[in-house]
Amino acid sequence: MVRVGVHVSIAGSIAKAVGRAEECGCDTFQIFSRNPRGWAVKPLAPGNVAAFRDALGASGMAPAVDHMPYLPNLATPRDEAHARSVEALEGELARAGSLGVPYVVTHLGHHLGAGSETGEARVVAALDRALASAPPDVMILLENTAGEKNSVGSDFESIARILGNCTVPERLGVCFDTCHAYGAGYDLKTEDGFSEALAAFDDAIGLELLHVVHCNDSKGALGSGLDRHEHVGLGLIGEDGFRRILRAPELRELPFICETPEDDRRDGAGNIAKVRELAG
């Protein structure tokens, strides 16, 4: 059986996320530990932290994954925004440590026209600074991006350069987003394209550094640069593409987390069921 889950809400209390994940049938799950669309952040109440840890331990689900909020931009050349982004990452690492969550997934951001080399250097500086004060049992996972204008980390070589230039590479890993990879030009839909993408990842980064897969189909076309998630099997990667992804021996033991929409076609539990069906 593959381990599969969804991104769940923390509305009402962060501890409620565990129950919501169980109700969906998750084996693993992802959360935002705070409001993802603002800079303001409330400290986690000790009682809620204890309740989350107790519920997580009793559930048997693993791993729980924390995702960085949307506003931080680790690649920005603007000093004030960069400092604020690093502070947000430091805070998220501390929150994950208190919750017993082993992974914090982060987008790498946009260089705003300063160039990829500058953007990658800014990401390296941010990661090194944040990890200097991070709990020892929390790892940062770098998420590949969809090829948007001025984005950093859309190709595997960019991620590899960032990993190679950090002073503590052992504290870093990768979260592979299938929708983003397809948008960036990696053809996960076809048998040859998927094999080539997997080999390219292994050559540039190393599959041993891959810890989580974001299992999202794509509304955007191959190489479109669009980050538009779709239900698993209903987008342009399609059921055959995901059947190969989910059955690949190199990936099968990894946690798969769906960040898919909830609408009248399918909800989180429906996407989990579809993943298990395609995984065989």
CB-side exposure of 220: number of CA atoms within 13 Å? 21
Catalytic residues: 37, 67, 70, 107, 143, 177, 180, 214, 227, 229, 259
Reduce the DSSP state of residue 67 to 3 states and report it: strand
Q: What is the DSSP letter of 222?
A: T
In the prediction, which pLDDT does 266 show? 97
In the prediction, which pLDDT does 213 show? 98
In the prediction, which pLDDT does 1 show? 85
In the prediction, which pLDDT does 99 show? 98
Helix (H) or strand (E) segment spanning residue 276? helix 268-279
Q: Which domain holds residue 245?
A: 3-279
Structure tokens, 17: 């996320």
Output the domain CATH number for residue 117.
Answer: 3.20.20.150
pLDDT average per 10 residues of sequence, the chain (280 residues)? 96 97 98 96 96 98 98 98 98 98 98 98 98 97 98 98 97 98 98 98 98 98 98 98 98 98 96 98
Structure tokens, 32: 């935002």
CB-side exposure of 59: number of CA atoms within 13 Å? 25
- Please tell me the pTM assigned to this model: 0.98
Looking only at the bridges linking them, the beta strands covering 229-230 and 217-218 are: antiparallel
Distance (Å, whole) CA 22 – CA 5: 9
Structure tokens, 163: 């990993």
How many helices (DSSP H) and strands (DSSP E) are in the chain?
Answer: 9, 10
Helix (H) or strand (E) segment spanning residue 177? strand 172-177
* Number of domains the chain is built from: 1
CB 143 within 8 A of CB 106: yes
In the prediction, which pLDDT does 189 show? 98
